[in-house]
Structure 1
Amino acid sequence: MPIDAALALAAEPRTGEISWNTKDVQLYHLGLGAGTPATDPDELRYTLESRLHVLPSFATVAGNGSPGVISGLSMPGVDVDLARVLHGGQSLEIHRPIPVSGTATATGRIAAVHDKGKAAVLVMRTEVADAEGPLWTSDAQIYVRGEGGWGGDRGPSTRLEPPAGDPDKTVERHIREDQALLYRLSGDWNPLHADPGFAELAGFERPILHGLCTYGMTLKAVVDTLLDGDVSRVRSYATRFAGVVFPGETLRVRMWRGDGAVRVAVGVAERDDAPVLADTIVEHS
């Protein structure tokens, strides 16, 4: 079996130093579409170094996102065909606000291996801490098609009951034609998001937007709309990637307020709200 669950779970964690600065944070925010209008005081918090705060989803690209999904696929006990791999979900737990620049230690390991029958799911956990203590914990759920069926634990279901009633707030965010080209400068160089020929080989009519770009855009919409623009209120953020979106399309972000949490559903406005992010929740103070 290409995935040896016992070996993967027993493997020694991989530890390395990561660092980032204000330019990295600004570039990430611009890749999410921040800065429109450029002189809006609320947008300047994402773009101007003297006012800068850090959207917590920056954790997915800090230090070029390493260790991450690709690192997880090279762990002992994991030998899979990249063509069968999907980034199925992403969650973050934020222990304290991310500084605008810093150096930290990132420790990555396979935290779980689940047998879904027709697929295996690897949970790649990354824990990041600096000299003052823990900063964030990130879980990437990696689906590997065709690698299930060995009789292992199916793992917990990540499906949530749909929110009741109409959303409390709905906003739309247009994706620029060049947005994937800008976002990839934060470290995800997968040609699927830039090369039309590669995208066609992968079964898409043209390059698609990074799922983690949609992830960041959605968190920004929640923070700006329901959390008074205060990034420090975010405690955790989890989603399941449910579909693709193309540059030039429009995200429709629907939000439901709850007790200490916001439920979110994201679809493509031009395609009758075709799902992009599902089972999405932002927990906050």
Structure 2
Amino acid sequence: MPFDPQNLLNYDILEVRQDYGPRETAFYALSIGLGRDPMDRRQLRYAGGAAQVTPFPTLPLVLAHPGFWLADPRTGVDPLKVVHGEQGLTLHAPLKLAGTVVGKTRVTGLVDKGEGRGALLYSEKTLHDAADGTLLATTRNTTFLRGCGGFGGSGVAEKPTHRLPETAPDFTVDTPTRPEQALWYRWNGDDNPLHLDPQVAARSGFERPILHGLCSLGVTAHALLAVLCDYDETRFRGLDARFTAPVLPGETLRTEIWKDGSFRTRVVERDVVAIGNGRCDFD
């Protein structure tokens, strides 16, 4: 199906209902690198090494995930030309230790970047507790659609980006990723073959499968939780960030953090910024 911006704006993404408990909670934490230090009890309580498994603050990013819905031919989008551009998260209420959640994702806007420059697709997921209807979290996603620009605009303004301080960061945290980390992370609900299949990665212009943006963001969130919240998840309120370069599984991520919650994350081996213009909301 050819690209039709109005069709994409009206595309109905199915609601997702998901049961979760200690297994799903611990797996997510392990998939973003928690538990690397088996002697750090602060990490173990998120990763299943304690009597009670505590949900990691960014777990709502993957709960009731709609999957790679843009691969549906009815969207008119070429899935090989889809790039995760930005991600936001606002936490409204704490997750229970176990329960059922309902996620509803919807398209909220489309920005025409011009012929040959692609388009920005904005979407939002609301996550509710299935038992009592409590709004738990809102996630915001910007997807860059290569080759879809030049349709004349949609009347939606492009979102502003957070400006980082011009001073040197106050804290720096280095975290190595694992070569097989994308293969673990996919089981959180994101099975985009770009992260799994070398042939698909090559057709998309990458030398090998790249790490999920949300996995890199989870690694970054771990650094933010440790530095800004002293591993107290009740102080973590949300974040927003822009993905600026791919990460290859096995590379080391260096998260640079300012006291006001600003952050960015570099790939140490290539000295490139992978996550930029970041802002963490915390108490």
DSSP 3-state at the match of 1:37 = coil
Give the distance between the partners of 2:5 and 2:226, measured in 1 at CA.
Answer: 43
Q: 2:22 is matched by which residue type in structure 1?
A: T
Give the distance between the partners of 1:86 and 1:263, measured in 2 at CA.
Answer: 23
RMSD between superposed Cα atoms in Å: 2.1
User: What residue in structure 2 maps to residue 128 of structure 1?
Assistant: 127
How far does residue 148 in structure 1 lie from its aligned partner after superposition? 1.8
Q: Quick one: structure 1 residues 170 and 24, their matched pair in 2 at CA, closer, same or farther if it must change by over 3 Å?
A: same
Give the distance between the partners of 2:149 and 2:185, measured in 1 at CA.
Answer: 33
Give the distance between the partners of 2:233 and 2:107, measured in 1 at CA.
Answer: 29
Alignment of 1:9-20 (within 5 A): 9-10=9-10, 14-20=14-20
Q: Say whether residues 1:105 and 2:102 are aligned partners.
A: yes
User: What residue in structure 2 maps to residue 45 of structure 1?
Assistant: 45
- Greater than 6 Å deviation, 4+ residue runs: none
User: What residue in structure 2 maps to residue 58 of structure 1?
Assistant: 59
Q: Which moved more, 1:216-225 or 1:13-22?
A: 13-22
Q: Tell me the matched-pair count.
A: 276
Q: 2:138 is matched by which residue type in structure 1?
A: T
Q: Quick one: structure 1 residues 37 and 265, their matched pair in 2 at CA, closer, same or farther if it must change by over 3 Å?
A: same
- Unpaired runs of at least 5, structure 1: none
Q: 1:160 is matched by which residue type in structure 2?
A: H
How far does residue 81 in structure 1 lie from its aligned partner after superposition? 1.1
How far does residue 10 in structure 1 lie from its aligned partner after superposition? 4.6
Q: Deviations over 1:85-141 (max 9, x none)?
A: 111111111111222322122222111111121222111211111133101111111
Alignment of 1:138-149 (within 5 A): 138-149=139-150
Q: 1:277 aligns with which of 263, 266, 275?
A: 275
How far does residue 13 in structure 1 lie from its aligned partner after superposition? 6.3
User: What residue in structure 1 maps to residue 69 of structure 2?
Assistant: 71
DSSP 3-state at the match of 1:257 = coil
Q: Quick one: structure 1 residues 95 and 72, their matched pair in 2 at CA, closer, same or farther if it must change by over 3 Å?
A: farther
Give the distance between the partners of 1:185 and 1:248, measured in 2 at CA.
Answer: 18
Q: Which moved more, 1:80-89 or 1:214-223?
A: 80-89
Q: Which moved more, 1:11-20 or 1:95-104?
A: 11-20
Identity within the alignment, %: 33
Alignment of 1:182-261 (within 5 A): 182-258=184-260
User: What residue in structure 2 maps to residue 175 of structure 1?
Assistant: 177
How far does residue 178 in structure 1 lie from its aligned partner after superposition? 2.1
State the TM-score, normalizing by the size of structure 1. Answer: 0.89
Give the distance between the partners of 2:11 and 2:36, measured in 1 at CA.
Answer: 45
State the TM-score, normalizing by the size of structure 2. Answer: 0.89
